[in-house]
Amino acid sequence: MKETIIIDCDPGQDDAINLLLALSSPGELDVLGITTVAGNVPLDLTERNARMMCDIAGRTDVPVFAGCAKPLLRELITAENVHGKTGVDGVEVFTPTGRPQDRHAVDFIIDALRSADDASITLVPTGPLTNIAAAIQKDPSILAGIRRIVLMGGAMREGGNTSPSAEFNILVDPHAAEIVFDCGRPITAMGLDVTHQVLSSRERIARIKAVGNRAAEATAGMLEFFSRHDSTKYGADGAPLHDPCTIAFLLQPELFEGKLCNIAIETRSPLTLGHTAVDFWGVSGRSANATWIYRVNADGFYELLTERLARLK
Ligand code: RIB
Ligand code: CA
C-alpha cells in the first residue's frame, strides 16, 4: 500500500536530495505535494529549488507550494554559509519548467488534510516547522488526517550545530517546533544524533557519481559542495546527510533504530533557545510524544539512495 505524503522543506542540498529520493520511489510513495518554507535560504529560493528538483527527477507532475517567509515569532536566520547563495550550490541553477502554485503552502496543507481520511497523510518536514505549525494553528481539525510526522530536527548527544544546544531547524522556529511536538500525532524525529552517522564520504559520492544520470550527477555535485563546510567543521570525511534520513525511513525503516520518549522544546531561554530536551531515560515524568531515532545502518542508507537515484533518467 503506497504511503501518501507531503514533504515540507527548505532546499538546501540535503532537502533537495531528499526530494530526489522521494520522487524516485513512486511505487512506495504518493507525493501529494511539496511545500516550501524559508530556512537554509529565503523562501523564493527554497521554492525555486524544489521545482528544480522536480524537473531533475522528471516529476513536474508534483505541485510545489510556497509557504511562510519567516518564523512564527522570531526573525529569520538562514544558512548560506553552509548551502551557498543559491541554496543548492553544486548544481547549475536553471529556471524550472514547472510553474509555481498560487495557493499558499499552509492552505494546501489544510485543504489536503481536511479532505483526507483519518490518519491517511504522512507529513515529512525537513526544515523549520513554521508551515506545519501555522496550518495546525489555523485549523486544528486537520490533525485527524495526519497518519504520522517524520521530521528532521533536534539534537541530544550530538549537541547543537547552530548554537551549542540547538539544531538549525528547531532554532529557526522553536515556537513552531513546540506546537508540532505537542500536537498529539505520531512523530518520528531524525536528529543530529542519527544524521551525523550518514557522512557523505568521497567514496560514497564517487559511487553516486558513477550512476551517471542527471539526478546522480546533480546529487554528487551538491554533495561535493555541501560536504566542504561540515567536513572542515567536524574534521570528518564527508558531511552529515540530514534530510534524506526521513524518506529513507519511510522506504526502509529497518535501517534505523529509535526509542519512544518525551521531547520538549526550549522556547524562552536566550542561551538554550531551540534545544530539544530528549528524555531518553524517562526521568521527567512527561509522557512520550515522539520516537527519537539514534542509530542507522549508514552503508544501507547510501546503498538505498544510490539505487533509487539510478532509477531516474
Ligand atoms: O540542521 C540540519 C537541518 O537544517 C537540515 O534540514 C538542513 O537542510 C537545514 O535545514
Ligand atoms: Ca532542511
Kindly state if the Cβ of 40 falls inside 6 Å of ligand 1.
Answer: yes
Superfamily of domain 3-309 in the CATH hierarchy: Ribonucleoside hydrolase-like (3.90.245.10)
Closest ligand 1 atom, CA of 127? 10
For residue 13, the model assigns a pLDDT of 98
**CA 121 – ligand 2 centroid, Å:** 20
DSSP letters spanning the chain:
-PEEEEEEE--SHHHHHHHHHHHT-TTTEEEEEEEE-SSSS-HHHHHHHHHHHHHHTT-TTS-EEE--SS-SSSPP---HHHH-SSSSTTS-----SSPPPSS-HHHHHHHHHHTSPTT-EEEEE-S-SHHHHHHHHH-GGGGGGEEEEEEE---STT--SSBTTB-HHHHH-HHHHHHHHTS-S-EEEE-HHHHTTSB--HHHHHHHHTT-SHHHHHHHHHHHHHHHHHHHHHTSSS-B--THHHHHHHH-GGGEEEEEEEEEE--S-TTTTT-EEEETT--S-PPP-EEEEEEE-HHHHHHHHHHHHTT--
**CA 15 – ligand 2 centroid, Å:** 5
Catalytic, 242? Answer yes
Kindly state if the Cβ of 191 falls inside 6 Å of ligand 1.
Answer: no
Closest Cα to atom 2, ligand 1: which residue? Answer: 168
For residue 99, the model assigns a pLDDT of 87
Q: Which amino acid is at 55?
A: D
pLDDT in tens, the chain (313 residues): 999 999 999 999 999 999 999 999 999 999 999 999 999 999 999 999 999 999 999 999 999 999 999 999 999 999 999 999 999 999 999 999 988 899 999 999 999 999 999 999 999 999 999 999 999 999 999 999 999 999 999 999 999 999 999 999 999 999 999 999 999 999 999 999 999 999 999 999 999 999 999 999 999 999 999 999 999 999 999 999 999 999 999 999 999 999 999 999 999 999 999 999 999 999 999 999 999 999 999 999 999 999 999 999 8
For residue 135, the model assigns a pLDDT of 99
Kindly state if the Cβ of 169 falls inside 6 Å of ligand 1.
Answer: yes
Ligand with the closest atom to the CA of 153: 1
Q: Which of 83, 104, 229, 242 is catalytic?
A: 242
Closest ligand 1 atom, CA of 167? 1
Give residue limits of the domains in the chain.
Answer: 3-309
Q: Is the pTM of this model over 0.95?
A: yes
**CA 285 – ligand 2 centroid, Å:** 31
Kindly state if the Cβ of 276 falls inside 6 Å of ligand 1.
Answer: no
